[in-house]
Structures are given as structure tokens and as C-alpha cells.
Structure 1
Amino acid sequence: MKEAFIKLHISILLAGITGLFGKLISLNEGLLVWYRMMFASLLFISFLALQKRLKLPPLKEILKISGIGLLLGLHWIFFYGSIKASNISIGVVCFSLTGFFTAFLEPLLNRHSVSFKEVLFSLLTLAGIILIFHFDTRYRLGIGLGIISSALAALFTITNKKIRGREDANTLLLFEMGGGFIGLSFILPFYLYYFPVHTIFPDRSDFIYLLFLASFCTIGLYLLQIQVLNRISAFTVNLSYNLEPLYSILLAMLFFHEAQELNTSFYLGLGLILLSVLLQTYHVLHTNRSGAL
């Protein structure tokens, strides 16, 4: 069990590291995500082929999974766009709004009643974002892109949850990465037309960072999560992932000295977001105990 918890926190750390690549990689956000999905697809299909675990679902399912993968790719583009337009801390904090959008979108798409407690907790997060947005005009573009990113992340989570029970996890990851890569391949020429770049090819350092991002922070992260879920409950894993934004912000402060860029309004807004996370954690723990009784 101790080994499982170590793996859990390594996976959270890997998830927290992903935001750093928005600053480390010089390619624009569109190319960054396109290469990430391409490398992840190639590496994972090779891994599954060696393990003789490749499965081909029906064409209809492949198209659905690929569409969800494209949604994930678009979320990543806006996420890294937010980081490049502002900084890592802003991008990660805006990602916390995913719960706010999920609280409204999930009942709408799945046709069930809205949880007022979830809405209340999410409104605290929204208040934190508004506080940062209102007082720190330097990062308004980054915050706007981050808000769109969190809405797309919520939509991805809801749609992915619907299809998860029909296919095994390996098949889902492979066709989401592959489908996202193919979908972005059609979109990218138009994207680059409106946002031109000097080169579409990564330099040596970008190539190394992209390989690390695709192998460790995409496939490795996923494989660790599967191993952890075999030993630890999904409830504990989801609860522990509340630490991810904190890890990202601390890493950004350590490696990019972002504490110097952030003012009082950011920390007040972050305080409201952390309060929301703590209240959600308490609510889930209380509900879980009540259910056990």
C-alpha cells in the first residue's frame, strides 16, 4: 500500500509538471499539442503492440473516441495558450474552473438535477478568478483562454465518462491520442494561417521536452494511475488530485520565479479557490462516511 501511495503522488507531480512545458517549449500552443499527441500515439501503439494488447473497436466507436480526443486536444491548446499569454500559475488557477462548468454542464447533458452544493463550491472558485481578473489587467488574455480551456476540460470529462465503460482504458487512451492528432492535423493549417510561426519543427531542446511530455506526463502518468487504482480507491485518488494545482504553482515559483510576477489580488483569489477545494474535500469525506454508516 505504501508503494501505491508513492506512485499516486508521483502521478500527481507528473500532472503538475505538464503546465511547465508551456514555458519550456518554444513552439506555439497548437504545434506543442499536435506533437504531444503524435508522439504519445506512436509511443503507446508501440507499447501495446509489444505487449500484444492492441484492440480495434467498431468504426462507430473509433469515431466517437476520436472526437473526444479532439476535444482533449482543443482543451490542451487553450490551456497552453493561457500559459503562454500569461504564466503557469494563471493557467493552472483558471483550470480550477473545470468544476464550475462541470456542475452546470453535467446535469444539462445527462438530464439530472443540479447539485446546489457543487454550484456553491464552484462559485467560490469563480469569485477567486474574478478577483484575479479584475485587479490584474496584465493577464486578462491568459485568463480568458484559461476559462475556455476549463470549459472544454469539463466537456471532455463528461463525454469521456460516458464512453469509458464501453471500452478498455488502453483502447480509449490510444484512440483519443490518435484521433486528437488526426483531428488537429486538419485544423492546424488554418490555425497557423492566422497565427503564423517562423518554423513548425522543434529544435533539440523542444524535441527532448516533447518526448518527456508525451512519454512520462501522458503515457507514464496514465499507466501510473491504472496501477494506483488497482490498490487505492478512486475516491482517494480523485481527492488527492486536489493537490495538483498547488504542485504546479510551487514548481512555477521554484523554476520560473513566478512569485515576483504575482500581486496580492492573485493570492487572495487563490485563497478563495483553495477554500473551495477544502470545502469540496470536506463535503466528499462527510458524504462518504455517511454512506458507509
Structure 2
Amino acid sequence: MNLSRDRNKRMSSRPVDSSLNADLSSGFTFVYSAVFLMSLNGLFAKVIPLDAASITALRSFIAVVGLGLFGLIRNRRYRLPSMAHLVGVYGLGVLLGIHWVTFFHSMQVSTVAVGMLSLFSFPILTILVEPLFSRERLAGGDIVAGILVLAGLSVMVSQDLADLHGPILSGVFWGVGSAFLFATRNLVQKYFFQDVTSDTLLFHQGIAIAVMLLPFLGVRQTAILPLSGIVNLLLLGILCTAGAHTFYAASLKRLPAKSVALIGCLQPVLATLFAWLVIQETPQLNVLFGGAIILSVAAYESAGKRSRPLLRR
């Protein structure tokens, strides 16, 4: 009798375990795809000859058009279920738009490295603030992981931040402000809008950003944009905006926000690599060492989150 009960218990747990593994697997696929595409943002910020507000407005418009065409092809309707959802999602769009403007401005007034690395104070903010949403106790391991990420980022910019005057200080200021906005948007979206699909979220947020920034669009500069600039804007809008942020939102539905944030710290590492390959910026030893720390934390988060949910069951 006991053997039969145990067998039934094991059989009933298998679909749950399988479902958890499927969610984790797809979650990691989404987050790593998003990280790869987002890491290209720094290059676009430098090669597109427009101000940060114009770039953000145009990338949002292109993303909305791209998602709209995708919706027509797949017969998807980007409807929000209530007026409360409408207000909330469009409010998140405002946060996302200001985050993009401050992020691009940070890289334009300083360097890609400073903008990218200062932005990645957001995992620390996510780790510290998420317990207010999840009502879970802040784990010691999460604090250690956050400190390690901060240490890695500090090592990567240690030589650049020796001079606290001029463009470096300005870049860090705008980058950390952007990080705060990004962490806030991610947590609110994860805990209050789980019932809205990822592409629907980005579609409506993209509309909010495009409308908000339309008065700040540099019309003259946009009108004389060369063909290369137009191509780069299309790539930025379709791949690094519509694609990347849809993947990112999908990963937040399947993984803890702190895990997504910490794995996202691969972005500055990849951005440094792309800068080296594309514009021949040779990374310094401190950048490589700090990047190795970040890679270790991201790998730990990936491996740990695959096993821990099943162990708890």
C-alpha cells in the first residue's frame, strides 16, 4: 500500500518537475538572447549621428511598427484587459523611455564602457528592492552575488574613474540614474503585469515612448540622416528593441528578477568585446579581470536556479 502511494506521488510530481524545467530552459534562452542583442546598444549610440532623445523616439516607433506587422502575420491582438492595465503599462513605458534616454546620453557624454558599466548598478538595486515585492527574505547568497557583481564592475572601470571630473563623472551620474529607472520598471512589470504577454507590453510601452518623445525629435538631423544611419536605426529598433525587450520581458515571467538582472551583467562584457572587434578598442587587463568576475556570477546564477527550484520540491 505504501509502495503504491509512493509510486503515485512520484508519478504526480513528474509533470510539475517537467514544467519547471521547461520554464527555466525557455527563461534562460530568452534572457541570453536579450543580453546579446542589448549589448549592441553601445555601438549604435556611437554610430548613429542623432541625440539620445531622437534615437529613443525613432527606435520606439520602429519597434512598434515591427511588432504591429508581427501581430498581423501571427493574428495577435495587443489588447490590454482593463483601464488599470492601460494606465500602468503606459506608465511603465514612460519609465522605460526615460531609462533609454539617460542610458544613451550617458554613453554619448562619456564612453560606451562608462555608460554600460554604470548602468549595471541596477542588479544591486534589484536585489535589494525585490523582497518588497516578493515578500521573501533577502538571502545572504543574493547579497554576496550582488557585491561580487559590483566588485567586478568597479574593477572594470577602476582606471577610468580615477578622474572624477568631466565626462566620466557625468556618464556615471546618468548611467546610475538610468539603472534606478530600469530596476523599478522591471520589478513593477514582473509583479503586477504577469497576465500581459511580453510583446503586448512592449508594443504599448513603445507607443508611450514614441508619443512622449515626439516633441523632442530632431527633425532636421533625421531628415539628412545617411543611409547607414537609417539601416542602423532599423537594426536598433527591430532587433535590439522589439526583439531584445520582448525576450527580456518573457524571461522575467519565468525567472526571478534578481537572476535576470545578474545574468544581464554579461552585457558590459559583451559590449567590451564588440567594441574591441568593431572599433578596435583593446580591453585593458582590469576590464578582463572584472569581466571574469561578472561571468562567474552569471554562470552561478544560471546553474543554481536550474537546480534549486526542484530541490525545494
For 2:120 and 2:45, how far apart are their aligned partners in 1?
Answer: 17
Contact persistence 1:16–1:245 (CA under 8 A): yes
Contact persistence 2:115–2:171 (CA under 8 A): yes
For 1:273 and 1:117, how far apart are their aligned partners in 2?
Answer: 15
Contact persistence 1:45–1:54 (CA under 8 A): no
Question: Using a 3 Å threshold, how does the CA distance of structure 1 residues 62 and 202 change in structure 2: closer, same or farther?
Answer: farther
2:83 aligned residue? 59
RMSD: 3.6
The superposition leaves residues 95-122 of structure 1 with CA deviations (integer Å, 9 ceiling, x where unpaired) of 3322101011222355543233212221
For 1:257 and 1:274, how far apart are their aligned partners in 2?
Answer: 22
More divergent stretch after superposition (273-282 vs 83-92): 273-282
More divergent stretch after superposition (211-220 vs 8-17): 8-17
Q: CA deviation at 1:53?
A: 1.9
Structure 1, unaligned runs of 5 or more: none
Question: Using a 3 Å threshold, how does the CA distance of structure 1 residues 42 and 122 change in structure 2: closer, same or farther?
Answer: same
Report percent identity of matched pairs.
Answer: 22
Question: Using a 3 Å threshold, how does the CA distance of structure 1 residues 285 and 90 change in structure 2: closer, same or farther?
Answer: farther
Aligned AA (2:298): V
1:291 aligned residue? 312
For 1:289 and 1:166, how far apart are their aligned partners in 2?
Answer: 24
1:101 aligned residue? 125
Question: Using a 3 Å threshold, how does the CA distance of structure 1 residues 198 and 130 change in structure 2: closer, same or farther?
Answer: farther
> 3-state DSSP class of the match of 2:49?
coil
User: Is 2:110 the counterpart of 1:86?
Assistant: yes
Question: Using a 3 Å threshold, how does the CA distance of structure 1 residues 249 and 38 change in structure 2: closer, same or farther?
Answer: same
2:278 aligned residue? 255
More divergent stretch after superposition (237-246 vs 155-164): 237-246
Structure 2, unaligned runs of 5 or more: 1-21
**Structure number with bigger Rg:** 2
- 1:244-283 alignment, distance < 5 Å: 244-259=267-282, 263-281=284-302, 283=304
- 1:103-142 alignment, distance < 5 Å: 103-131=127-155, 135-136=159-160, 137=163, 139-142=168-171
The superposition leaves residues 235-288 of structure 1 with CA deviations (integer Å, 9 ceiling, x where unpaired) of 8x95875644332221111112222xx555544544444444345445435634
- 1:142-161 alignment, distance < 5 Å: 142-161=171-190
2:200 aligned residue? 171
> 3-state DSSP class of the match of 1:199?
helix
> 3-state DSSP class of the match of 2:79?
coil
Question: Using a 3 Å threshold, how does the CA distance of structure 1 residues 109 and 9 change in structure 2: closer, same or farther?
Answer: closer
Q: CA deviation at 1:176?
A: 1.2
The aligned length equals: 276
For 2:152 and 2:266, how far apart are their aligned partners in 1?
Answer: 17
Contact persistence 1:40–1:218 (CA under 8 A): yes
Contact persistence 2:133–2:191 (CA under 8 A): no
Contact persistence 2:50–2:222 (CA under 8 A): yes
Tell me the TM-score normalised to structure 2 length.
0.72
For 1:286 and 1:10, how far apart are their aligned partners in 2?
Answer: 21
The superposition leaves residues 130-178 of structure 1 with CA deviations (integer Å, 9 ceiling, x where unpaired) of 4555542262322222222222211111011023322223321211111
Tell me the TM-score normalised to structure 1 length.
0.77
Contact persistence 1:129–1:269 (CA under 8 A): yes
Q: CA deviation at 1:66?
A: 0.8
User: Is 2:213 the counterpart of 1:184?
Assistant: yes
Q: CA deviation at 1:72?
A: 1.1
> 3-state DSSP class of the match of 2:77?
coil
